[in-house]
Amino acid sequence: MIRVLLVDDHRIVRQGLRQVLADVPDIEVVGDAGDGAQALSQVRSLVCTPEGLQVVMLDIAMPGRDGLEVLKLIKAEFPRLAVLMLSTYPDRQFAVRCLRAGAAGYLHKSADPDDMVAALRKAAAGGRYITPSVAELLATSISEPHDHAPHEALSQREHQVFRLLAQGHSVGQIAQSLSLSSNTVSTYRARILEKTGTRNDVELALYAVRQQMVEP
């Protein structure tokens, strides 16, 4: 039996995933979480049970600690636990970054249910589920290591702040959301503007739209 933990900040998404997996005989959803803190707490509890935990299905876009940060925390503490990333973002924005951080696969939330089941089974078996589009991105990242968009040079935390700024959040709102000081967020903002070659939040938002990192 493949025991799965669902992590997404939208209850309706978690309910939808439960329904998709409910009739799969070898998969059991053993818990769900709405944010990173809940996810880490449940992972620690479930891996200690006799049956264990085989796969975490983890959303990328969550308040506070985003999915990428939670992924790294999970892999640091439980390196053998498979984590399958879910997202509504285009593959090219996050897939390679997730796989490099240790994810067992990257799936769009609109993926066919059969593909989700196949991904869970592959991850539980210790493999990586790679779609053709993600495989192409991986090949490109290897063959053209220096041909990257400016935002790909951002650190994980800078990337997190970047997306929040591009979505219209203020420095104060971001500081509160990420449990950081406003000065720290302002420092991240300055680095982001420099690395992306933008001069203000408006240009940063336009850059994000061009790169398909946020909805226009």
pLDDT > 80? residue 152:
no
Structure tokens that stand for 146 in this block: 């220096």
- CATH 3.40.50.2300, the chain: domain bounds: 2-143
Residue that is written with structure tokens 């593909």 in the block: 115
- Rounded to whole angstroms, the Cα distance separating 102 from 106 reads 11
Q: Does domain 2-143 have CATH number 3.40.50.2300?
A: yes
- CATH 1.10.10.10, the chain: domain bounds: 150-210
CATH number of this structure's domain 150-210, picked from the four choices 3.40.50.300, 2.40.50.140, 3.40.50.10090, 1.10.10.10 = 1.10.10.10
- Rounded to whole angstroms, the Cα distance separating 88 from 215 reads 11
**Residue-wise pLDDT tens digits, 48-78:** 999 999 999 999 888 777 888 899 999 999 9
Structure tokens that stand for 109 in this block: 């939330």
Residues recorded for the chain:
216
Give the pLDDT band of residue 144 (cuts 50, 70, 90): low
